[in-house]
Amino acid sequence: MSRPVAALALAAALASPVATAQERSLPLDVLRSGLAFSGGDVRAMQADDFANPGFLWVERGARLWAEAASGRSCASCHAAAAASMRGVAARYPAFDRASGAVVDLEARINDCRVRHQGVPALARESDDLLALTAYVATQSRGVPLAVDVDGPARASFERGRALYYVRHGQMNLSCAQCHELNWGKRLYAETLSQGQGNAYPAYRLEWQSLGSLQRRIRACFYGIRAEMPRPGAAELTDLELFLAWRAQGLPVEAPGVRR
């Protein structure tokens, strides 16, 4: 991971005092979902909700939503997800007053289980947590991402931004060197995307499974030969928040399909 001092110095150099909703790291007219960098076969798979294997998890999530855990299901409080969860995923990660920290959608679902259902949290990347997250996220399909970074989430956002622009690992690369300075160019057989997270949780053909945005970010850390933050680490949530802010305006595509 980065050294905190270097990260803070860089953050101070790069960060303007306030990141308002208007300020952007990529202008709106060049903002592209990962779908724009995908081949025709991947786009066709995502366009067809039956061919998209992510819906195996969505359907499982729908069953879990209605299934009572300790006498109370998600539906007991939130009723039909189509109405109550519409737009929710587009606002996450978000500051959670009860835990005093920024949480992503997976952590929010687990908080709900522990606090309101009295059942244990689900493991990161477990099929059940992916299923519930995909089910909740898919209710926001088409809703443009719009996270709040000006309130109490500010500190997390700034940490995420600093991490994004600092060089990591043996390859000595920052996220920005691929995804801001060189997107659209070829890296071996791949086209570098802008690294947008609006399709997650997504079915990656490489994984043969649905996976979270955290898993995708960890894969990038691995790719640049940096130490991977553990699943659920605060740095990953900070990065997720920065990525969501950076992607503001792109529609939620979950569950997307990627290579």
Partner 1 sequence: MADSRVSVPKEARRGEPFEVRISIRHPMETGYRTDESGNHVPRNVIRRFACRYNGAPVLAVRVSSGIAANPYFRFFVTARESGALEFEWVDDAGVRGEARADVAVV
Catalytic residues: 220
Closer to partner 1 at the Cβ: 59 or 227?
A: 59
Q: Which of 127, 143, 154, 231 binds partner 1 (CB under 8 A)?
A: 127
Rounded to an integer, what distance in angstroms lies between the CA atom of residue 73 and that of residue 22? 39
User: Cα–Cα distances in Å, from 223 out to 174, 188, 195, 205?
Assistant: 11, 13, 14, 17
Task: Choose one: 6-14, 54-62, 71-79, 186-194; the region binding partner 1 (CB under 8 A).
Answer: 54-62
- Considering the complex, what minimum distance in angstroms separates the CB of residue 207 from partner 1? 9
3-state secondary structure (DSSP) of residue 12: helix
- Considering the complex, what minimum distance in angstroms separates the CB of residue 123 from partner 1? 14
210: which strand partners?
203
Q: Which of 209, 219, 233, 259 binds partner 1 (CB under 8 A)?
A: 209
Residues 6+ apart with CB under 8 A from 150: 18, 19, 20, 21
Rounded to an integer, what distance in angstroms lies between the CA atom of residue 192 and that of residue 181? 10
* 228 belongs to the binding site for partner 1 (CB under 8 A): no
Closer to partner 1 at the Cβ: 47 or 187?
A: 47
H/E stretch holding 220 reads helix 213-223
- Considering the complex, what minimum distance in angstroms separates the CB of residue 67 from partner 1? 14
* 55 belongs to the binding site for partner 1 (CB under 8 A): yes
Q: Which of 4, 28, 30, 59 binds partner 1 (CB under 8 A)?
A: 59
- Considering the complex, what minimum distance in angstroms separates the CB of residue 217 from partner 1? 20
In 3D space, the residue among 104, 72, 145, 112 whose CA is nearest the CA of residue 232 turns out to be 104
Interacting residues toward partner 1 by CB under 8 A: 50-51, 53, 55-56, 59-60, 127, 205, 208-209
